[in-house]
Chain A
Amino acid sequence: MDRQGNTYTFLYASVMVIVVAAILAFLSHSLKPIQTENVKVAKMIDILKSVNIESTAKDAKDKYQKYVGESAYIVNKAGERIDGVAFDVDLAKELKKDAADRAYPVYECKLDDGSTKYILPVRGKGLWGPIWGYLSLNEDKNTVFGATFGHKGETPGLGAEIEKEAFQKPFAGKSIFEDGQLVSIEVTKAGQSEGNIHAVDGISGGTITSQGVEAMLQDCLSGYESFLKN
């Protein structure tokens, strides 16, 4: 066969693409369970981090079992418990639904000192892509105990700073209610939150990401309002 002819070229390209596709499909399929497991463990690490429990890929599962275990549940907009596994709720999908139909996961965490914390997952938009996080509240369901945030592709050094401790730490001790009204937490311009119990400092140069965090908290917490008031 003529190696430079059109028929040969087309055949060659087709066969090659099919073979490569088959190999990759097989590989992707056989590695999927391990990868899903990794994502789960990473989620546990994030959840634990919002109540200041450090864990690694090795011990995250045990620690999650110990501190949260079975005490995670889903509530609806009215604050009533509904059926389902909280850990498996995909927030990205829930946010596409109407607020009234969404499932709102709550992770109840019992710490070593006997206190109970409520961990609420949040998710929103940053500058370049999704941002997400976990906010933990004290037993009064008002005072923030800790917060942790993650992002898909915010600018390193600017928006990406939301995953740094310097941004997350000031959330502790803030409160999300004022006179029974949900006010959430405002992310102000850097340096302007001082003395404000409902605000933290944003990131200079990461304005849109900071505003994204504020909007994310406002949106997601509003769904929990009834639950938090009970």
Chain B
Amino acid sequence: MSSEKEPLFSAKNLKLITTPLGAQNPITIQVLGICSALAVTAKLEPAIVMSISVMFVTVFANLVISLLRNTIPSRIRIIVQLVVVAALVIIVDQVLQAFAYEVSKQLSVFVGLIITNCIIMGRLEAFALGNKPWPSVLDGIGNGAGYGMILIIVAFFRELFGSGTLTLPGIGELQIVPDFMYELGYVNNGFMILPPMALVVVGIIIWVQRSRNKDLIES
């Protein structure tokens, strides 16, 4: 390890945030955490709340595990990680039930299922166990944001074309497609609200990303 003090946002540290947004995106490249991405993206609001929740868990799980990394007995390290993640998820669930009851009902089991989200355990094993707290926090932010970004993009298109609205936290439902469009014969695409379309939208995002970045294409 270098003896010089590294600046908080050195190029190397910033990369921890930017690579999971693009070339190492947990959803589109590593294809982790897909099932919640399909389930909560019919409307924008739950997708945003879910993204924030997952980001909270990735950041703090990474931080806690990184702080404890030299004390954790390696034989029970997976259990330790699970306990930390489960505790954080319960915190998120309880807070949502107290302050965002409606959304917590919509997310229902999917908040609890953050525990099983592969992104989180994957980052703990691959990064937090071997790195200092600050880079681990950045890695958590990056991966949480990489996940959330895809969720929000998918939810944006699904709600816009499926319901003609966009629902934002704190603001409520905004009608985007004007009434006269409906009078002219425009119809919402009900298929967009069904889970298979989430898969299709994720697929389109993966396609666009790979056609722009040729390095990602497997030979």
CB distance from B95 to the nearest CB of A (A): 7
Interface check B200, CB cutoff 8 A: no
Indicate if the CB atoms of B102 and A57 lie closer than 8 Å: yes
Chain B interface main SS type: helix
Contacts of B98 in A (CB 8 A): 31, 34-35, 38
1/0 contact string of A9-26 vs chain B (CB within 8 Å):
100110011001001100
Indicate if the CB atoms of A16 and B83 lie closer than 8 Å: yes
Interface check A230, CB cutoff 8 A: no
CB distance from A189 to the nearest CB of B (A): 24
- Counting chain A residues whose Cβ lies within 8 A of the other chain, the interface size class is 20 to 34
Q: Taking A23-B87, A31-B94, A31-B98 as contacts, is the C-beta distance between A12 and B75 under 8 angstroms?
A: no
- How many residue pairs link A and B with beta carbons under 8 A? The number is 50
CB distance from A121 to the nearest CB of B (A): 19
B-side residues, CB < 8 A to A, are 71-76, 79-80, 83-84, 87, 90-91, 94-95, 97-99, 101-102, 105
Interface check A3, CB cutoff 8 A: yes
Indicate if the CB atoms of A4 and B75 lie closer than 8 Å: yes
Indicate if the CB atoms of A35 and B97 lie closer than 8 Å: yes
Alpha-carbon gap, A42 to B103, bound state (A) = 12
Interface check A196, CB cutoff 8 A: no
> Which residue of B73, B87, B102 is within 8 Å of A4 (Cβ)?
B73
> Which residue of A12, A28, A31 is within 8 Å of B73 (Cβ)?
A12
> Which residue of B76, B84, B95, B101 is within 8 Å of A9 (Cβ)?
B76
Alpha-carbon gap, A52 to B166, bound state (A) = 25
Indicate if the CB atoms of B90 and A24 lie closer than 8 Å: yes
Alpha-carbon gap, A16 to B84, bound state (A) = 9
Indicate if the CB atoms of B94 and A17 lie closer than 8 Å: no
Indicate if the CB atoms of A3 and B94 lie closer than 8 Å: no
> Which residue of A13, A24, A39 is within 8 Å of B79 (Cβ)?
A13
CB distance from B217 to the nearest CB of A (A): 36
Contacts of B74 in A (CB 8 A): 4
Q: Which residue of B lies closest to A12 (CB)?
A: B73
Indicate if the CB atoms of B76 and A27 lie closer than 8 Å: no
CB distance from A13 to the nearest CB of B (A): 6
CB distance from A45 to the nearest CB of B (A): 10
Contacts of B71 in A (CB 8 A): 3, 12
Indicate if the CB atoms of A20 and B87 lie closer than 8 Å: yes
Alpha-carbon gap, A41 to B87, bound state (A) = 28
Alpha-carbon gap, A193 to B49, bound state (A) = 42
Q: Which residue of B lies closest to A5 (CB)?
A: B73
Indicate if the CB atoms of B101 and A57 lie closer than 8 Å: yes
Q: Which residue of B lies closest to A157 (CB)?
A: B194
Known: A28-B94, A41-B101. 5 other contacts (CB 8 A): A9-B76, A13-B80, A24-B90, A27-B90, A27-B91
Indicate if the CB atoms of B91 and A24 lie closer than 8 Å: yes
Contacts of A13 in B (CB 8 A): 76, 79-80
> Which residue of A9, A17, A35, A38 is within 8 Å of B83 (Cβ)?
A17
Q: Which residue of A lies closest to B195 (CB)?
A: A156
Alpha-carbon gap, A13 to B99, bound state (A) = 32
Contacts of A28 in B (CB 8 A): 94
Q: Taking A27-B94, A31-B98, A38-B97 as contacts, is the C-beta distance between A20 and B75 under 8 angstroms?
A: no
Contacts of A35 in B (CB 8 A): 94, 97-98, 101
Alpha-carbon gap, A12 to B74, bound state (A) = 11
Q: Taking A16-B83, A24-B87, A24-B90 as contacts, is the C-beta distance between A38 and B101 under 8 angstroms?
A: yes
> Which of A8, A17, A23, A35: most chain B CB closer than 10 A?
A35
Alpha-carbon gap, A27 to B91, bound state (A) = 7
Contacts of B101 in A (CB 8 A): 35, 38-39, 41-42, 57
Can you list 29 pairs linking A and B with CB atoms under 8 Å apart? A3-B71, A4-B73, A4-B74, A9-B73, A9-B75, A12-B71, A13-B76, A16-B83, A17-B83, A20-B84, A20-B87, A24-B91, A27-B91, A27-B94, A28-B94, A31-B94, A31-B95, A31-B97, A34-B98, A34-B99, A35-B98, A35-B101, A38-B97, A38-B98, A38-B101, A42-B101, A42-B105, A57-B101, A57-B102
